[in-house]
Amino acid sequence: MPTNILMPALSPTMEKGNLAKWLKKEGDTIKSGDIIAEIETDKATMEVEAVDEGILARIVVPEGTADVPVNEIIGVIAGEGEDPKSVSAPAAGAAPAKAEAPKAEPAQAESAKSEAAPAAAPAAVKAPAAPAPTAAAASAGGDRPFASPLARRLAREAGLDLSAIQGSGPHGRIVEKDVEAAKKGGAAKAAPAAAPAGATAAPKPGAAPLAAGPSDEAVKKLFEPGSYEEIPHDGMRKTIARRLTEAKQTIPHFYVTVDCELDALLKLRAELNAAAPEKDGKPAYKLSVNDMVIKALALALKAVPDANVSWTEGAMLKHKHADVGVAVSIPGGLITPIVRDACHKTLSQISNEMKDYAARAKARKLKPEEYQGGTTAVSNLGMFGVKDFAAVINPPHATILAVGAGEQRVVVKNGQPAVATVMSVTLSTDHRAVDGALGAELLQAFKGYIEKPMAMLV
Amino acid sequence: MADYDIIVIGSGPGGYIAAIRAAQLGFRTAIVEREHLAGICSNWGCIPTKALLRSAEILHYGEHAKDYGLTLEGSFKADLEAVVKRSRGIAVRMNNGVQFLMKKNKVDVIWGEAKLTKPGTIAVAPTRKPAMQPQGPVPKGAKGEGSYTADHIIVATGARPRALPGIEPDGKLIWTYFESLVPAKLPKSLLVMGSGAIGIEFASFYRTLGVEVTVVELLPQILPVEDAEIAAFARKAFEKQGIKIITGAKVTKVEKGADSVTAHIEDEKGGKQTIQAERLISAVGVVGNVENIGLEALGVKTDRGCIVIDEFCRTNVKGVYAIGDVAGPPMLAHKAEHEAVICVEAIKGLHPHPMDKQMIPGCTYCHPQIASVGLTEAKAKAAGHEIKVGRFNFVANGKAVALGEDSGLAKTIFDAKTGKLLGAHLVGPEVTELIQGFVVAMNLETTEEELMHTIFPHPTLSEVMKESVLDAYGKVLNA
C-alpha cells in the first residue's frame, strides 16, 4: 500500500509551513531515516525524516510552496513491490495516514542515533504530530464529517450542522461533548434543509446561526500547562467579545478609505486654542484633532442623511440626530460614550464633554444612557502612530470611522511634490444599510469639513 | 542536570507502564521498588489469583466430567501445595517479565524504599517492610540506597489491605489476600468479610475446593459496585454452590481461638449471631500507600488516604504526579496502566485525552464470572436518565448450552432519548472476556443502532450481547 508523506507539525501550534526543498526526486529509493525534504516556518528550518521505506512515487507539493497546511499530503511513497508509476496522487484532504516526524538539526540527530545517549536529544524521538484540534476532518469518501454515531444523532436531533462543530476527540473526531457544548453555546449553524433522510428536526428559521470557535480545552491544549496564567473574564470583556463577534458575524462590513490633508485644520485648531479665554486660571477649552473629527463626522452625516441610519430586518431607521460614539480605551477594555447631536454642539462643548466622558469612563462611572445608542462612531488610533486601520461596527450603528495618525507625507500638488500633513481615515459601513457609494459620499463630505475646517464654525 | 528526567516510585502495573512509556518517549527513566517488580497485581493480586481460580475451574470440570459424557477413572483431586506452587511460579514469571522489560527499555531499577525529600529529589533507603514470602531475589544490576534527582517524580505506590479496628489481620487466623494466596493447608471453614471482587474470588476458589464458606457483607447486596440485578443473579448461583451469604450485616467482634475464630455478627435490624470458622479473610477494601513517602514535607494534597490529582495525574506540587491505586478509586490495574500513559504523555506535551472513569470496566473472576462497564440501572436513573433496559439470558444461547454453562445474564442500559449505551452488565461464562466489546462500543460512542447493525459470530457467547441490545428495543429474536 502506498504511504502518504504528510506535512509535519514542528510545534503544537504550527498550522502551516513552507516546503523549502525536496532532497529526493520522484523515483528515488527511500530508507527509513533518510532526510527527504526541508520545511521552514517563520522560526526555523527543519528536516523531514522518512519513517517508511520504499520509492518516492510522487511529489504532491512541489518545493518552494509556501503555507502548506499541517497534515496535508506532500508526497507518496510506494511500498515494496508496488509500481511507483501506478501510484496516483491522492486527493487533497484525504485521510492522513502517518505523519512524518520532523527533526531539529542534522548534527543533533546524528548524535541521537548513537546508543550511548538515547534520551539526550529528544528531538530525535519520533513523536507523532501533536493532535492539535482540527476542524472536523472530512473522510476521503466525501464530505461526511468525522463524528461518533452518538454525536451524529444528537446533532441531527438538535438541528445542528456537524461541519460547523469542532471535534475534540482523536484526530478531531466530533464526540458527544462537542455537540453538547455546541448546543449550549448555540454556536453551530443549523443543518441545511437537505438534511439526510430520517432527520426529524428541521432547522429553525430565523435563528442566526453562528460558527463555533474552538473549545476552551482545545485552545488550552495548544500551550504547555503552567506556561500561562488564566485570567477570568470580567463583564466588560464578555460584552466586548459577544458584541464584536456578533457584529463581525452578522454585519456585512464594507470599507472605504480616504486621505485628508490636515494643515488647515491644525492651523485653525492652534488659533482657536490660543484664543481660549481663561477660566479659573486655565484655558476654557483645549481642542484636540479628535474633537474636530467628531464634529466633522456629525456634520457629514447631516449633509448625507441617507448614511445616518440603522439597519433592522423590518425597516431602515433614518435618524434625525447625528449622535457620535467615541471609542475610549480604558484599562481592561474599551467603552464608547456618545456625543449626542454633535453637529449642533460647538467644538468647545464637544471637547469638554469628551474630557468628562473619558475621565468617567476610566473610572467605569458612565451611565448606560451615556454609552448606549448612537448613530455612528469614531475610533482613533492616531496617537499610537497607526497609519490606517478598519474598525468593527458597533451595532446599532451603520458606520464607524477609523482614524489614523496625522503625519507629514509627500503629496503631489499642481504636478509638484509637496509636503502636507495627511491623515488616513477608513469608514466601515454596514452594507445592508449604507452601500459603497453612499459611504464614499459620506467620506467625501467628511473630508470637505476636515480640509476646510472653517465650515465647522458656522 | 537531574539524574533522571522521570523517576517512578513503585513498579506495579501503573509504575512499570509509566517507566516503559517514559523510556519510549526518550526520557531518562528510573523506577524504585521495595519488594517485588510488577507490584501486587502480578505478585499478590490479579495474576496469582487467576492461577488459583483456573485450578479450581479445572477441578470443577473434572468433578462434572460425567455431564460431558466423560468418565474419570482413579482419583481427581486438588493437591493444594501444587496448586499454590503453580500460582507462585506464574507470579515469578510475571515478575521476571517486568525485569526484562525494564532492561529492554533501559530503565534503571533502584531497589529500596523511596521518600520525597525536596522537590525533584528522593532518598532511597533499605526497605523497612518485612517482605511477604516467598519472595524473589533483588534484580541483578539494581541500584541501591542513596539520593536521586529527577525533573518529574511519579508516585505509584499502590495500596494495601484495609484493616478494621479489632479485626486486624494477623497472618495466622485472620488473613488478607497475601495469606489467602498461599495456604499451607485447606481450612475446613472460612469466613469472608467483604463481598467485593477480592472477597468473592477467594470465596469462589475455596468453595470449589470444598471449604465451607460464609460471606458477610455490610451493604444490602454482594458485589456492591455491580448492578443489583446482576449481583442478585450471582448470589443465587453462589448459594446454589453452597456458599452462605449474609448481607446487611456487620462483624462486630472476632474472638480468636487456638485454630479458629468466632465472629460476632449483627444485622441491620439488630439481629445477632456468631459464626465459628477456622480462618477469616478480611477483604474490606484497600487503602492507598501514602505514608512515609514524604508527601507531607512537600505539601502534596491527599484526601481520604489517596493523593489528589488532576486529569493529567498532576498533584498540587509541580513535578510530582500520582497514578494508580494511590491516586484514588477505582483501584484497578487497568486504570493504573491507563493513567500511567496519560501522565507520561502529558509530561511530554503530547496532549493525551483525559480518562473517562465511566469507561473503566470491572471484572470479577468467580464462577460464574461478572463483568461490567458504565452505569448500573440504579445509577442511570439517579443521574436523571430516562432509560431502556435490555436483558438476555444465557439459557437461550446455543454456545452456552453446548458448553454446559447456560446460566448467565446480559443486561444493557441505554438512554431512551439518545440511544447512548450507558452501561453493560454481565454475569455468566467468560463474560470477563466479553465485556470489552461493550467497552469499545462505549468509547466509540455507538448507539443502539450500530450495535444492532453489528454482526456477531455464531455460535459464540457474544451473541448474548447483541440479543440484550435487541431486547432493550423490543426486537429480541431468541427469547
pLDDT digits (tens, 9 = 90+) for A387-424: 999 999 998 999 999 999 999 999 999 999 999 999 99
What is the reported pLDDT for A205? 38
Residues belonging to chain B: 479
What is the reported pLDDT for A444? 96
What is B4-160+287-357's CATH superfamily? FAD/NAD(P)-binding domain (3.50.50.60)
Nearest to B445 among A12, A128, A151 (CB): A151
Q: Do A149 and B314 touch (CB under 8 A)?
A: no
Residue ranges covered by each domain of chain B: 4-160+287-357, 174-284, 368-472
pLDDT digits (tens, 9 = 90+) for A353-371: 999 999 988 887 888 788 8
Q: Is position B64 annotated as part of the catalytic site?
A: no
Residue B89: all three cell numbers together: 511460579
What is the reported pLDDT for B379? 97
Searching chain A, which residue's CA lies closest to the CA of residue B316?
Answer: A226
Q: Would B4-160+287-357 and B368-472 be classified into the same CATH topology?
A: no
Q: Point out the least confidently predicted range of A94-98, B24-28, B397-401.
A: A94-98
Chain A contact present for B351, CB below 8 A: yes
What is the reported pLDDT for A95? 40
Q: Point out the least confidently predicted range of A10-19, B122-131, B206-215, B293-302.
A: A10-19
User: How far apart are alpha carbons A186 and A161 in whole angstroms?
Assistant: 11
Residues belonging to chain A: 458
Q: Do A130 and B418 touch (CB under 8 A)?
A: no
- pLDDT above 80 (res A430): yes
What is the reported pLDDT for A13? 63
Q: Taking Cα atoms as reference points, which of B361, B376, B398 lies closest to residue B478?
A: B398
What is the reported pLDDT for A102? 44
Q: Single out the catalytic residue among A171, A253, A397, A431.
A: A431
Helix %, strand %, coil % of chain A (to 5): 30, 25, 45
- Least Cα separation, residue B448 to chain A (angstroms): 9
Searching chain B, which residue's CA lies closest to the CA of residue A158?
Answer: B418
Residue B455: all three cell numbers together: 454482526
Chain A contact present for B419, CB below 8 A: yes
What is the reported pLDDT for A280? 83
Residue B249: all three cell numbers together: 450485616
Q: Do A176 and B446 touch (CB under 8 A)?
A: no
- pLDDT above 70 (res A84): no
Q: Which residue has the cell 463474560?
A: B431
pLDDT digits (tens, 9 = 90+) for A191-240: 443 333 333 333 333 334 455 678 888 888 888 888 888 888 877 788 88
- At the top level of CATH, the class of B368-472 is alpha beta
Helix (H) or strand (E) holding B179: helix B177-181
- Least Cα separation, residue A228 to chain B (angstroms): 14
What is the reported pLDDT for B396? 96
Using a CB-CB distance cutoff of 8 angstroms, which residues of chain A are in contact with residue B353?
Answer: 169-170
- pLDDT above 90 (res B88): yes
Q: Do A148 and B444 touch (CB under 8 A)?
A: yes
Q: Taking Cα atoms as reference points, which of B147, B159, B125, B463 lies closest to residue B304?
A: B159
Q: Which residue has the higher pLDDT, A391 or A118?
A: A391
Q: What is the mean pLDDT of residues B109-121?
A: 96
Instruction: Give buried/exposed letters for A52-74 (b at 16+ CB in 10 A, else e).
Output: bebbbbbbbbeeebeebebbbbb
B275: helix, strand or coil: strand
What is the reported pLDDT for A94? 41
pLDDT digits (tens, 9 = 90+) for B16-40: 999 999 999 999 999 999 999 999 9
Q: Which residue has the higher pLDDT, B410 or A178?
A: B410
Q: Do A170 and B353 touch (CB under 8 A)?
A: yes
DSSP strand pairing (B409-415 vs B421-428): antiparallel
What is the reported pLDDT for A80? 67
Nearest to A119 among B27, B419, B444 (CB): B27
ipTM, interface predicted TM-score of the complex: 0.73
Q: Do A148 and B346 touch (CB under 8 A)?
A: no
pLDDT digits (tens, 9 = 90+) for B320-357: 999 999 999 999 999 999 999 999 999 999 989 999 99
Per-chain mean pLDDT for chain A:
79
Nearest to A118 among B106, B419, B444 (CB): B106
- pLDDT above 90 (res B195): yes
pLDDT digits (tens, 9 = 90+) for B218-266: 999 999 999 999 999 999 999 999 999 999 999 999 999 999 999 999 9
Tell me, what DSSP letter sits at residue B312? T
Q: Taking Cα atoms as reference points, which of A92, A89, A87, A59 lies closest to residue A74?
A: A59
Residue A374's CB: how many other CB atoms inside 10 A? 23
What is the reported pLDDT for A81? 66
Which of A115, A125, A148, A150 to mutate to test binding with chain B, by most B CBs within 10 Å of its CB? A150
User: How far apart are alpha carbons B447 and B467 in whole angstroms?
Assistant: 15
Residue B149: all three cell numbers together: 534527582
What is the reported pLDDT for A338? 94
User: How far apart are alpha carbons B13 and B342 in whole angstroms?
Assistant: 14
Within 13 A of A50's CA, how many CA atoms are on the CB side? 24
What is the reported pLDDT for B180? 97
Q: Which residue has the higher pLDDT, A58 or B5?
A: B5
pLDDT digits (tens, 9 = 90+) for A306-353: 999 999 988 999 999 999 999 998 888 888 999 999 989 999 999 999
What is the reported pLDDT for A11? 65
User: How far apart are alpha carbons A372 and A338 in whole angstroms?
Assistant: 8
Helix (H) or strand (E) holding B467: helix B463-472
Q: Tell me: domain A251-457, CATH 3.30.559.10, correct? A: yes
- Least Cα separation, residue A199 to chain B (angstroms): 14
pLDDT digits (tens, 9 = 90+) for A123-167: 333 333 333 333 344 333 345 788 999 999 999 888 888 888 888
Q: What is the mean pLDDT of residues B366-382?
A: 97
Q: What is the mean pLDDT of residues B303-311?
A: 95
Q: Residue A255 phi/psi, 5° resolution? A: -120, 135
Q: Kindly indicate the confidence band of residue A75, based on its pLDDT and cuts at 50, 70 and 90.
A: confident
What is the reported pLDDT for A349? 93
Question: What's A353-366 look like in SS3?
Answer: HHHHHHHHHHCCCC
Spatial contact of A54 and A78, defined as CB atoms under 8 Å apart: yes
Residue ranges covered by each domain of chain A: 3-124, 149-230, 251-457
Query: What percent of chain A has pLDDT above 90?
Result: 39
User: How far apart are alpha carbons B31 and B141 in whole angstroms?
Assistant: 13
What is the reported pLDDT for A67? 80
What is the reported pLDDT for A196? 37
Provide the phi-psi class of A71: left if phi over 0, else alpha when psi is between -120 and 50, else beta: left
What is the reported pLDDT for B138? 87
Q: Point out the least confidently predicted range of A3-7, A105-109, B203-207, B267-271.
A: A105-109
Kindly report the CATH number that applies to the domain delimited by A3-124: 2.40.50.100
Kindly list the residues of chain A whose beta carbon comes within 8 Å of any beta carbon in chain B.
Answer: 12, 118-119, 121-122, 124-125, 127-128, 130-132, 148-151, 153-154, 157, 169-170, 175-176, 221, 224-226
- Least Cα separation, residue B420 to chain A (angstroms): 6
Per-chain mean pLDDT for chain B:
96
Residue B447: all three cell numbers together: 448507539
Using a CB-CB distance cutoff of 8 angstroms, which residues of chain B are in contact with residue A130?
Answer: 349-351
Task: Tell me the H-state helices in B250-350.
Answer: 295-298, 333-348
Instruction: Give buried/exposed letters for B118-137 (b at 16+ CB in 10 A, else e).
Output: eebbbbbeeeeeeebeeebe
Q: What is the DSSP string of A375-435?
A: SEEEEE-GGGT-----PPP-TT-SEEEEEEEEEEEEEEETTEEEEEEEEEEEEEEETTTS-
Q: Taking Cα atoms as reference points, which of B462, B435, B413, B422 lies closest to residue B364?
A: B435
Question: Domain B174-284 adopts which CATH fold?
Answer: FAD/NAD(P)-binding domain (3.50.50)
What is the reported pLDDT for A45? 67
Q: What is the mean pLDDT of residues B266-293?
A: 95
